Amino acid sequence: MKKIIKLLLVSIVATTLLAACANPPEAQVSEARQLIDAVIADGGQEFAPEKIASLNQRYDEALAEIKNQEAILFRNYSVAQFTLNQIMDECDDLKASIATSRGQVVAAVPKRVKYVAE
């Protein structure tokens, strides 16, 4: 009986240490920031400024969640990871939407015709 209790205590301590050592999703944080910056560079501020503001706000919320998790013993970064994954998906969709909008703007602009003097 004592062996079972010792084994149980050791497994609880090991699980606690492993849970406390969970690493923050640094790769996702940097990838999400790069995607947001890429969308802005592609003209996101001109074609969808409200979506860019929303992406930046949610990115800041994910960073705040990561910071909150670092302050507690049992860290769980799943909420921040989920938010960052949503941000990355929305960035991909927004990039495609911007490309479509840019194509529509270019199509709407009349083409200049060069006349050659005879």
Each residue's pLDDT tens digit, 96-113 = 888 887 776 655 556 655
Continuous H helices in the chain:
2-20, 26-41, 44-47, 49-70, 78-108
pLDDT of residue 41: 93
Rounded to an integer, what is the distance from CA 93 to the centroid of its chain? Answer: 13
pLDDT of residue 93: 94
Nearest to 44 by CA among 1, 93, 6: 93
Instruction: Kindly indicate the confidence band of residue 44, based on its pLDDT and cuts at 50, 70 and 90.
Output: confident
pLDDT of residue 116: 60
Integer Cα distance of 5 and 38 in angstroms:
55
Sequence length of the chain is 118
Question: Is there a contact between 84 and 62 (Cβ–Cβ < 8 Å)?
Answer: yes
Handedness of CA 34, 82, 69, 59 (dihedral sign): positive
User: In sequence order, which residues have a C-beta less than 8 Å from that of residue 103 and are 6 or more positions away?
Assistant: none
